[in-house]
Every structure is written in C-alpha cells, then in structure tokens.
Amino acid sequence: MRPYIIGIAGGTGSGKSTFTKRLKAEFGDRVTVIYYDNYYKAHDDMPLEKRRLLNYDHPDAFETDLLIRDVRQLREGKSILCPVYDYTVHNRSSETVRVDPADVILIEGIMVLQNEELRNLLDIRIYVEADADERILRRVIRDVKERGRDVEGIARQYLTTVKPMHYLFVEPTKATADIVINSGLNDVAFDLVRTKISHLLSRRQAL
C-alpha cells in the first residue's frame, strides 16, 4: 500500500520543524521526513558573495520538479537519493542521503503548499503559523547558532526577501490547508494530528 503523505508548511520560524520533529519522535521508523530546503537549486558556477544575495524565498529558488519526482518514487515504494543543502555556503552539497519509503512521509518547508502539483500529492495539509515578531526572533537565533550567519545579514535578508515573499507566496497557502495550527508546540494540535496518524496506521495494519 502506498504511504500517507503529509505536508507541513508555514513561514520561517513558525515552528513547522519543531512540529515535524515531534511527529517523527512519536512514530519513529514508520515516518520518513523530507525537508523541502534540501531542494534549493545548486549554484556551483556562482561565487559565494553572489549566492548570498539570491532570493531564497521565491518558488523559483527550489528544484520542485525534482522533489515531486522523488515523492512519486517514494509513493511507489522506491528509495530516493535526496540532495543535501549546506546553509553555511548557500549552496547544495555534493552529498546525497538515501531516503527509504515508510508508512507516513512528512514533507516540511515554507513552500510545501505553494505548488499545486505537489499539493495534490498530499493526503493531509498542515499550516503552522506564528506571530511575525516571534518568527523573526526564532530565525535570528537559529541562523546564528546553526547556520553561521551574522545578525546584520539576517536582518538584510529578512527585510529584502523573506518578509515580502512570505506575504506573497507563503501566507496565502494557509487557505489550502486542512489544518492550521499556532506554534509547533501546541499540544492540542499535536494530539489531534497524532491521533489522526495513529488511526490511519491502525487501519492499515488491520487490512
């Protein structure tokens, strides 16, 4: 039987990664996670200084066709070689990671609900939202700690691309979601989604 595919979208710093990790921790090997960010396009021919100035919050920044092909492969029970993105150099790594199919596939990223073809592959569509001030603060902390960025660069990127692209391409996708939750730490929302997944898995086991 084909896996259930769940999309988890939302703005930067909204808590979608936290929510995704909680589901993965809950269901373990029965869940496979794909991060949309790993499908940022490669720019090997471009120097670092130019890569820093690219708009990474526009749909064109992603190789979505490759993601869709990979999702279809997983639906058919086939493993994929998922690209790996290196945030420290603003470019796709030369490495890949083998991803095996599982009962449930979680796809997480800001643009998961933006592309209609990808959206139509999802069985459940989740949008995680949070106050804009909270989102930018979380982004600053994350980018400094985990991605080797400086505060000035984060602020410039946020004001020039992240914020305007959020209102153009990310927030409108909330209307396409089956479930809208506030914060990845919302226990009530987590319990609802966990119960839904448990029901789907139990029904599958009974077949």
**Angle, CA 86 vertex, CA 116 and CA 50 arms, to 5°:** 85
CB 34 within 8 A of CB 112: no
Cα–Cα distance between 185 and 112 in angstroms, integer? 20
DSSP state of 166: I
Domains and CATH numbers, the chain: 4-196 (3.40.50.300)
Give the pLDDT confidence score for residue 171 in this predicted structure.
93
Mean per-residue pLDDT of the chain: 90
Q: How does pLDDT run across 168-182, given as a tens digit for each residue? A: 999 999 999 999 998
Q: How does pLDDT run across 33-67, given as a tens digit for each residue? A: 999 999 999 999 999 989 988 999 999 999 999 99
Residue 188: Cβ within 10 Å count: 7
